[in-house]
Amino acid sequence: MTESPKGAAERAVVAEVAGPIAPYGGTLVDRVVTGEARTRLLAEAASLPRIEIPSRILADLYLISVGALSPLEGFMSSADYEAVLDRMTLENGLPWSIPVVLPISSEEEASVAPGDRVALVTAEGDVAAIVDVTEIYDRDLERESRQVYGTEDEAHPGVAAIRALGSRYVAGPVSYVYEGDISGFPADNLTPAQTRAAFDEAGWRTVVAFQTRNPIHRAHEYLQKCALEIVEGLLVHPLVGETKSDDIPADIRMECYRTILDLYYPGDRVLLSVLPAAMRYAGPKEAIFHAIIRRNYGCTHFIVGRDHAGVGDYYGTYDAQEIFDEVDTDLLGIVPLKFEHAFWCKRTGQMASNKTTPSSPEERVFLSGTKVREMLSNGERPPAEFTRPEVADVLMKAYRNTE
């Protein structure tokens, strides 16, 4: 019996960077401190100034530390911040679309200066990391909102999130000491080193990543299986960090993922692992950001569908695909797979797109996570054209239990 990719990841001892593609920037960053060194840092933290970080910053801190945001070794400098906003690159010219920054309040800043070592603590008071402060700089809230989210509208969840942060940012490399699980799914939270080891063990030279914050519906399944025709492995990589209040909770989604993958996908060609990142809802800029992260996890291809990471009417249907034409794809180093909007075609009795069916608009059933959420909120069972019946069972049960 062939060992599953997940099993390979769990038993792998990573001596060097494995996987089918080099990490972004060439080196897989590792800022996680363990053993006696961690014990010493925790003792030191007791006498250091402190910055309290919310859950979304803790998520970024974790992703930096395990290498998911390579080549970043800490929170961005002002030079990188300005380059991201002005040119959509890091200062060194490497494509990058969203600032990864550490906010500080005016009260905290009073006891912190460049050259200091500072403890980053959770809302519960646990030390998560030590940052060696290289710089404290002003943020440009309006420009950051426009350049990253395309709007200054405070109704946009991403804009609202950054407006809640401090007025200045702290830069510097981090040393991660937090041992708590930030994902909620520790058994499914594989690091980039672990996914790379799994791909290497499975012999996958080409791997496509699928980003989602919704249960997998029939359109998703169609895109994934089209992609599997041209690559050797699929990483289903749902985001399980902070999302909007009306998004389907992560535990329900994970049950849906396991159900559909067990019944309808080839087990030796799919790996399920969570991404404990906060959702930004930055549309096209987040599509680039998500692609970079998946390259660090070892993927060679990345599915970009309709309205990737979108919210409301802030972005055009295919803006997230078109932005890949604006970056140096040789430097980006991961292939975007651009799919048209998929739908259930009544004429052909299967999933299709404009490229594969001659049907009229009246013969098409369009699928979306938003539509599924609306149906569930109204007590309606999603039909087979929307999602597999076993997934509908999971969703209906979950929604009945929340009434």
Q: What is the pLDDT of residues 378-400, one digit of tens each?
A: 888 988 888 999 999 999 988 88
**For residue 222, is pLDDT > 70?**
yes
Q: What is the pLDDT of residues 334-379, one digit of tens each?
A: 999 999 889 999 999 999 999 999 999 999 998 666 777 788 888 8
CA distances from 292 to 178, 210, 302, 368 (A): 24, 13, 9, 25
Structure tokens at 247: 């998004």
- Percent above pLDDT 90 for the chain: 82
Mean residue pLDDT of the chain comes to 92
Structure tokens at 51: 């910055």
Annotated catalytic residue within 31, 214, 218, 294: 214
Across the range 32-36, mean pLDDT stands at 97
Structure tokens at 402: 């929340």
Q: Report how far residue 375's alpha carbon sits from residue 372's, in angstroms, rounded to the nearest whole number.
A: 5
Q: What is the pLDDT of residues 264-274, one digit of tens each?
A: 999 999 999 99
SS3 376: helix
Backbone CA torsion sign across 240, 242, 248, 252: positive
Across the range 227-246, mean pLDDT stands at 93
Q: Report how far residue 161's alpha carbon sits from residue 286's, in angstroms, rounded to the nearest whole number.
A: 15
CATH fold for domain 186-401: Rossmann fold (3.40.50)
Radius of gyration of the chain, Cα coordinates, nearest whole angstrom: 21
Annotated catalytic residue within 139, 168, 196, 213: 213
User: Is 87 designated active site?
Assistant: no
Could you tell me which CATH class the domain 21-176 is placed in? alpha beta
Task: For residue 235, give the nearest of 183, 272, 289, 192 by alpha carbon.
Answer: 272
User: Is 214 designated active site?
Assistant: yes
Domain limits of the chain?
A: 21-176, 186-401
Task: Count other C-beta atoms under 10 Å from residue 107's C-beta.
Answer: 8
**Continuous H helices in 115-191:** 141-144, 157-163
Q: What is the pLDDT of residues 132-191, one digit of tens each?
A: 999 999 999 999 999 999 999 999 999 999 999 888 999 999 999 999 999 999 999 999
Residue carrying structure tokens 């494995």: 18
Q: Which residues of 10-28 are buried (b: 16+ CB within 10 A; e: fewer)?
A: eebebeebbbbbebbbeeb
